[in-house]
Amino acid sequence: MLRNLVILAGALSVFAAPARADGNDAAVVEPAGYANLQDRYTAPEARDARRQGDVVPALRVISEVRRRYPGADVLDAELEGGASPRYVIKILTRDGRRVDVVADARTGQILFER
């Protein structure tokens, strides 16, 4: 139960973007392959998208990730927007590797891992 609460808290924490301490409004450059903060769903947007049937539940994708990576710990889950919404599930494998598993948010199909 506690593990599920920790996972849920981690998943929800991605939706809270910290304010810049320096007050600089310049654009932040994200590494290639990562969505910027404007492309990430807020918690209410993600909830609404799920209720409207636009995306599959995150737990469905997380279950598939756990099936593919037995014993891995799920560190984080993000829903990214754009033309093709996708989930990015961050895991720590049993052998200590951190892997981002990217899945189509509309179908739940795993697209690739990075």
pLDDT at 58 over 90: yes
Q: Residue 22 pLDDT > 50, yes or no?
A: no
pTM over 0.85: no
Residue 83 has pLDDT above 80, yes or no: yes
Q: Which parts of 9-97 are beta strand (E)? A: 73-80, 86-92
Query: CA–CA separation, 65 vs 37, rounded Å?
Result: 24
Please determine, for residue 21, whether its predicted confidence score (pLDDT) is greater than 90.
no
Chain center to CA of 100? 9
Mean pLDDT value across residues 9-19 = 47
Please state which CATH number belongs to domain 2-15+44-113: 3.30.505
Inter-CA distances, 78 with 74, 81, 89, Å: 12, 10, 7
Kind and range of the H or E element at 111?
Answer: strand 110-113
Question: pLDDT category, 67, cuts 50, 70, 90?
Answer: very high
> Across all residues in the chain, what is the average pLDDT?
78
User: With 0-12 CB in 10 A as exposed, 13-18 as middle and 19+ as buried, what is 43?
Assistant: middle
